[in-house]
Amino acid sequence: MVLLEVVQGGGLFAYAPLIIALPILGLITNIIFGRRLGERFAGIVASGVVALAFVIAILQFLALQAHPEGVTIPIAEWISVGSLSVSWAIKVDTLSTTMMLMVTGVSTLIHIYAIGYMHEDVRFQGDPGRYTRFFIFFNLFVAAMMVLVSADNYLMMFVGWEGVGLCSYLLIGFWYEKGEDGIGNAVAGKKAFITNRIGDFGFLIAMFLIFGAVGSLGFEEVFDWAHAFGEENVLIISVITLFMLLGVAGKSAQLPLFVWLPDAMAGPTPVSALIHAATMVTAGVYLIVRSNPLFSVTASTSNIVAIVGTATAFFAATIAVGQFDIKKVLAYSTISQLGFMVAAAGLGAYVAAIFHLINHAFFKALLFLASGSVIQGIEAGHHHAEHEGADIEEPFDPQDMRNMGGLRSRMKVTFWVYLIGALALSGFPPLAGFFSKDEILVDARLENPALFFLLLAAAFLTTFYMGRQVFLVFFGKARSEPAAHAKENPPVMWVPLVILGVLSVVSGALNLPKIHTLTDWLGTTIEHVHITEFSFSVAGLAVVFSIVAVVLAWMIYGRKPIEKGEADPLRKILGPIFVGMENKWWVDELYDFLFIRPYVAICWFLADVVDWRILHDWFHDSVLASAYRNGSQWLAQVFDLGIIDGIGNGLGNITKGASQRLRFVETGYVRNYALAILVGGLLTLTYFIFG
């Protein structure tokens, strides 16, 4: 009854700041106590605070039932310079709360999974000290993501935007000494960081232009300006949204800035599931949907957004067909599905974009975690096979699908949840992906038939490469000794998979045809919402394409499973086209030729041609250098020794003097202590009686 009254009064909104504070509390606790109290403590604390953050998100959902218009909760004033005034406030509405629920819910399951996965990963890598550090970074990511989705202005959103980018860098290069030439993972982290900075440049320029045009960075003020003056400021809004698209391309891995995400698979599998499948990479989609009043003003930019998303969806799907690394297939699949979401947002189907974002978080997190389960099972089989003296070709890659096969009978739970995730991703009814992908295809057919057929082709390739992956990994005979000795992982790893599998089945009910629950829910926040009616023709065509793709994958990989050392049969069928897919259409090589090599050449030129020793000697003998040295010595004598050391020594002397006087109180006689207690009690009673 009390809870009901609080909900009706909107009092639950007051708990919203905890959704950021709890992950921060978790990481601080692990920084102080994590290493001392061990792995179990660190994992439980990190997972527990995220679970509590999920509870807070549920409370915000309940509060919005009574107050669907939402609230903005001020935390603190941040910047006030001239006409620029930016505060830190938490915006609780149906859109932000949807993201909060999705991020914290999926994050909780992935944190629990990581307790078991990272224990094994740390054991295999032989560095137990990094277990706690991993969960510190994980909690930091959740906190940054909460800042991003709860912001009520663009600058605060940018803080969270940069925060998740930092965490991505830290977690991709978590095993920084591993990888190609001992630096491969570190290079992958750097690649992600630099590529995202290009996108961040676009976001920054967009913010500068917004402030110049509106005089504010708050969502409410900017959107009110767009409503009032949008038609007469189409040009500046077009430029703003184009720069936003650049930011989206960097963060959500769209053409041409998608190249960082496949290399990001160097991070541990829970990182791939949380950051690079379910949450961080969807930040760009969230930015477009949140900024829908701006994008709706300029049809030209929206068309460009839809074209970029569609091209990304198809292009990445072709690359996924030719990959052999189990996580790389899922990485390019993620890029492709993000393309679907961006295309939907560009077409004005904002609810469909968020609907697919939610469903994708469930089944793609499931697939990444299940792939991690496969990798851990293969690595355990590797150690078992070595112990038995089996002949194993080295170096052995536990992520190469050509080293797998036959895991269906040895990892039964992983097989079934993987199959559910693959079917959901492929859009088979009645699983989640069927409903959200159908909404996007229907909107594409209505708005742009050319994009519709390209998205339909991308959906066909999605089903084919997932069928190829399932047949290569789980069917046929084991193509290596580690695969023959693989075993299922402990419940701490497969229980979250089962929960995500259930969510991948039922989450399509969020926006069923004729009911439109999610559409009505988001309609109170997203201004330009339209109801997408279910189309039997589009759904039937998509299902037929998916069935044809599965049959084709079975004919190539299932009917006659490939043997150990046998070339991929698709190579014989497609020839040079498959070579292009396998080599990712040489995009990385093109980037290397156009940008990296010229940059390195300029650096070597400057290092060889410019004699820096002459400049150093000139500066060393100049009047400026002499003044700098004299000033530094003066500062060291006056400020460092006189002030800093004086404060430190003074505090030490005060503490020493106080302790010398207080030590006389500690006499060691019980009668003295009893007398002190008696006097204290009398003084307390006197205060309460006469005070």
Range of 103-107, 526-530, 635-639 with top mean pLDDT: 103-107
Residues 522 and 657 in one domain: no
Contact of 258 with 335, CB cutoff 8 Å: yes
Residues 533 and 431 in one domain: yes
Asked if the bond preceding 490 is cis, omega within 30° of 0, the reply is: no
The pTM for the full model equals 0.86
Contact of 178 with 206, CB cutoff 8 Å: no
| Angstrom distance (rounded) from CA 550 to CA 379 | 29
Instruction: Please give the pLDDT value at position 636.
Output: 62
Domain assignment of residue 543, yes or no: yes
| Angstrom distance (rounded) from CA 245 to CA 261 | 17
Contact of 359 with 439, CB cutoff 8 Å: no
What value does the mean pLDDT take over residues 607-615? 60
What value does the mean pLDDT take over residues 310-316? 97
Contact of 338 with 253, CB cutoff 8 Å: yes
The number of beta carbons lying within 10 Å of the beta carbon of residue 592 is 13
Domain assignment of residue 88, yes or no: no
Residues 432 and 559 in one domain: yes
Tokens (6 digits) for 618: 């000139």
Domain assignment of residue 445, yes or no: yes
Sequence-separated (6 or more) residues with CB below 8 Å from residue 288? 244, 248, 295, 305, 342, 345, 346, 350, 353
What value does the mean pLDDT take over residues 79-83? 85
- Structural domain harbouring 657: 613-690
Residues 362 and 499 in one domain: yes
Instruction: Please give the pLDDT value at position 640.
Output: 61
Ranges 196-200, 263-267, 351-355, 368-372: which has the least confidence = 263-267
Position 2 pLDDT exceeds 50: no
Domain assignment of residue 85, yes or no: no
Confidence of residue 34 (pLDDT cuts 50, 70, 90): confident
> Which one has a higher pLDDT value, 234 or 635?
234
Residues 635 and 505 in one domain: no
Task: Tally the domains of the chain.
Answer: 2
Instruction: Please give the pLDDT value at position 665.
Output: 67
The number of beta carbons lying within 10 Å of the beta carbon of residue 217 is 23
Residues 404 and 328 in one domain: yes
Position 80 pLDDT exceeds 50: yes
| Angstrom distance (rounded) from CA 345 to CA 196 | 21
| Angstrom distance (rounded) from CA 322 to CA 471 | 14
Q: How confident is the model over 503-522, as pLDDT tens digits?
A: 999 999 999 988 889 999 99
Domain assignment of residue 517, yes or no: yes
Calculate what percentage of the chain has a pLDDT beyond 70: 90
Range of 110-124, 380-394, 411-425 with top mean pLDDT: 411-425
Residues 429 and 478 in one domain: yes
Position 583 pLDDT exceeds 60: yes
Q: Which of 523, 496, 450, 619 is nearest to 114 (CA)?
A: 496
Position 675 pLDDT exceeds 80: no
> First CA to last CA across the chain, in angstroms?
40
Confidence of residue 131 (pLDDT cuts 50, 70, 90): confident
Confidence of residue 5 (pLDDT cuts 50, 70, 90): very low
Residue with tokens 């706690």: 132
What value does the mean pLDDT take over residues 555-574? 89
| Angstrom distance (rounded) from CA 248 to CA 289 | 11
Residues 570 and 621 in one domain: no
Domain assignment of residue 196, yes or no: no
Sequence-separated (6 or more) residues with CB below 8 Å from residue 467? 422, 426, 549, 550, 552, 553, 554, 557, 558
Instruction: Please give the pLDDT value at position 626.
Output: 61
3-state DSSP helix/strand/coil % of the chain, to nearest 5? 80, 5, 20
Position 678 pLDDT exceeds 70: yes
Residues 639 and 559 in one domain: no
Range of 271-275, 543-547, 676-680 with top mean pLDDT: 543-547
The number of beta carbons lying within 10 Å of the beta carbon of residue 240 is 28
Ranges 238-247, 383-392, 447-456: which has the least confidence = 383-392
Position 571 pLDDT exceeds 50: yes
CA 235 centroid distance within chain: 33
Q: Which of 317, 173, 292 is nearest to 226 (CA)?
A: 292
What value does the mean pLDDT take over residues 434-462? 95
Domain assignment of residue 659, yes or no: yes
Residues 432 and 515 in one domain: yes
Residues 540 and 663 in one domain: no
| Angstrom distance (rounded) from CA 198 to CA 247 | 7
Instruction: Please give the pLDDT value at position 125.
Output: 67
In this structure, which amino acid lies at residue 468?
Answer: R
Contact of 162 with 148, CB cutoff 8 Å: no
Instruction: Please give the pLDDT value at position 57.
Output: 97
> Which one has a higher pLDDT value, 117 or 126?
117
In this structure, which amino acid lies at residue 393?
Answer: E
Q: What is the mean pLDDT of the chain?
A: 88
Q: What is the DSSP letter of 523?
A: T
In this structure, which amino acid lies at residue 347?
Answer: L
Instruction: Please give the pLDDT value at position 83.
Output: 83
Contact of 340 with 317, CB cutoff 8 Å: no
Q: Which of 520, 552, 574 corresponds to the end of one domain?
A: 574
Q: Which of 251, 298, 260, 254 is nearest to 279 (CA)?
A: 251
Residues 402 and 348 in one domain: yes
Domain assignment of residue 627, yes or no: yes
Phi, psi dihedrals of residue 128, rounded to the nearest 5° = -65, -20
Instruction: Please give the pLDDT value at position 11.
Output: 82
Tokens (6 digits) for 176: 């920084």
Strands (DSSP E) found in 16-112: 71-81, 84-92
Position 691 pLDDT exceeds 90: no
The DSSP string of 551-608 is: HHHIIIIISSPPPTTPPPHHHHHHTHHHHHHHTGGGHHHHHIIIIIHHHHHHHHHHHH
Residues found in the chain: 691
